[in-house]
Amino acid sequence: LSSRNCSNYSCLPSSSSSLAHNAASYRMNVLAMVVLVLLPVATYALTGPNVCTKQETFTSLVNVSVVKAYRVRSYTFCLSLPPKCSKYKINYKTVYKTQSQTKTRTVDVCCSGYTRVPADDRCIPICSHDCIHGVCVKPDQCRCEAGFSGPSCNITCPEGKWGMGCIHDCPCLHEGKCDPLYGNCSCHAGWIGQYCEEKCPQRHYGMDCKDQGRCQNGGTCDHISG
């Protein structure tokens, strides 16, 4: 026969068909095996008080399946040399591809005014100023050591006050001075006792009543000046 009657058919060499089929199978196998998932960044669970939560978004690459059409070739007799022609039909297969998805998750965060301590994942308060003689116990709030006060714990207790936060009244009498840390009294000359409540005994005067009075002939010694 001098002509090939391949209407509605495609007359292709069988070797080319085999190569195309192998390439398609290879691509399908690769897609089926590759599953890529973008794991979220590791987060640490916070412990203790002052821990809040918030919603955050993150992107994840997931493997999804799609249906894809492809041609299947078969051979049939035709008036050609050789007497074999190709014909095709449409089949469908499932293939896999990766795509990004935006998701939401709940994460732990330190509440407002607190910051994370990396060493043990606690949330501690933030003070915008240093607590010089104290510690930061709440956002912008210092707890001062005994004998100090002020926003930064850098002010000694005013006269007549002592203790933590300088909240205690000085118990010292007769103008005795109060220790700002523990409230111990330092008495003026002529006075002794825990609260400076006692005069120096007779024939004694001065600071801590250490001086000996010089009064004679029944004279009375002043407990302050002698």
From first to last of its 226 residues, what are the pLDDT tens digits of the chain?
Answer: 334 444 444 444 444 444 444 444 544 444 444 333 334 444 567 888 899 999 999 999 989 899 999 999 988 888 888 888 888 999 999 999 998 989 999 999 999 999 998 888 899 999 999 999 999 999 999 999 989 988 999 988 888 899 888 889 999 999 899 988 888 999 999 999 999 999 998 888 888 999 888 877 777 788 888 7
pLDDT of residue 43: 52
* pTM, 2 dp: 0.50
98 Cβ neighbours under 8 A, 6+ residues apart: 34, 36, 61, 62, 63, 64
Domain residue spans in the chain?
14-110, 127-212
pLDDT of residue 20: 45
pLDDT of residue 164: 85
pLDDT of residue 71: 92
pLDDT of residue 143: 92
pLDDT of residue 17: 45
